[in-house]
Structure 1
């Protein structure tokens, strides 16, 4: 998987260039070193980051990892804060992740959480936090201030607000099939439709654009264990 940088003007980029090895080592030290890693959500946040960057060409506006007070802290609020520039207009992407074993539990929990996160007062607080965390020298700071200004109505902001929602789950279909086949396609599509229909019970503001991303896994435990081994090796 290749994550592309996004030059804003000429050869300038908002991201400080690092060698891949150094970048991975610094990220590993920033994420977590807890023995309770099975219950942590950073891997889900990384997956969401990678998916929306690759599939929708977003760019991270802020990284919440940098605002942790200690290595094992969690940061409240949305799980990703990305942007897309479209003909001079900024689209704000506020991502949510449920890195779960159960798809049903993931949907039930995210429905409740989105209901809270999209309340007017919560959004205003989140917008204020975002504005405070974007550096004044950032080339996108002017766009952020314009989009999220306190005097601007939410009705004006919603058309430029996207909510990508990543839900993971252990898939019975993936565990059943060892190779790609017509039967596999039919069963995985039926599995997706089941979760999609359940997610549609969510009642939100009509102007908010929600992108549901379903990521079936054979087993969550195997992925988490492998990630943790790699991460701990890098952070030494």
Structure 2
């Protein structure tokens, strides 16, 4: 990642506290295994810059970007690495999923030190002309004894209830052996394009290709791999302030949903990354404006 972008992310998206937070009287969500983590967006224009610039690293592996013209690659990404139709009206454009996915990418990469396994742009199919399927992130952390697959989801809505309802509509599917297996198969189609070479997930895929009668899930367990499912919520800050904006999330989930038992046999964790902010709609509109103007990227 460009150092200028990395520095901007660290300066702009600032950690506040974990949940549960007894001092503030805020619990973590009823589905979270690890602590939820809460961040604040310090500057609206800088946050917009992060979205606009992160399209590049989201769409391409680092070796594809090195010594290239960033502005040309950015334009290529908008043509064939994510869904973007310049002919749509503004209200439709600000609903594009990549506006949140690029932030999830950058936050996992910079603030959680979770390396991208492969650029998300590889999974977009221009022929389908639809939002990219699968998990919203393909990152990993390799410890000595365990590989963590950080395969997460993000929702970027003004109304936090809309984002939460969308998450819980598919959460059982997302945290399941079947969905994890399907996504590992999708990764296997791009085995030669992995950003992170020599990883255990690469070994799992190659073992399976040598013997396709093996169970991918059994192989993941055999290699002591874990699914980490970070769920990022980007939403409009409550008029009552930051802490109330955070408190709204676990309360709404507890009032409307129950803690599920997921159909997954791989070790897993789930936690929320909460980022309330001002002017969600204005930020999205500004990104679209910059795209249309072909605003030069940071170097």
TM-score interval, smaller chain: 0.7 to 0.9
Report the aligned-residue RMSD: 3.3
Unaligned stretches of 5+ in structure 2?
Answer: 8-60, 79-83, 209-213
| Structure 2 Cα separation of the partners of residues 58 and 212 of structure 1 | 15
The alignment's TM-score, normalised by the length of structure 1, stands at 0.76
Give yes or no for contact 2:164–2:253 (8 Å, CA) kept in 1. no
Match of 1:27 in 2: 74
Give 1:197 deviation, angstroms: 4.2
Which deviates the most, 199-208 or 119-128? 199-208
Unaligned stretches of 5+ in structure 1?
Answer: 5-13, 177-183
Give yes or no for contact 1:101–1:170 (8 Å, CA) kept in 2. yes
Give 1:213 deviation, angstroms: 0.8
Give yes or no for contact 2:142–2:148 (8 Å, CA) kept in 1. yes
SS at match of 2:285: helix
Change (3 A) 1:38 1:186: closer
Counterpart among 155, 158, 170 of residue 98 in structure 1:
155
Counterpart among 132, 141, 144 of residue 84 in structure 1:
141
The alignment's TM-score, normalised by the length of structure 2, stands at 0.61
SS at match of 1:40: coil
Match of 1:231 in 2: 291
Change (3 A) 1:155 1:67: closer
Counterpart among 216, 225, 229 of residue 163 in structure 1:
229
Give yes or no for contact 2:116–2:195 (8 Å, CA) kept in 1. no
Counterpart among 169, 173, 180 of residue 123 in structure 1:
180
**Relative contact order: is structure 1 or structure 2 higher (C-alpha 8 Å, sep ≥ 6)?**
2
1:22-50 CA distances to partner (integer Å, 9 max, x unpaired)?
33541343232432312211110011011
Give yes or no for contact 1:3–1:54 (8 Å, CA) kept in 2. yes
| Structure 2 Cα separation of the partners of residues 158 and 219 of structure 1 | 43
Give yes or no for contact 2:237–2:276 (8 Å, CA) kept in 1. yes
| Structure 1 Cα separation of the partners of residues 64 and 173 of structure 2 | 37
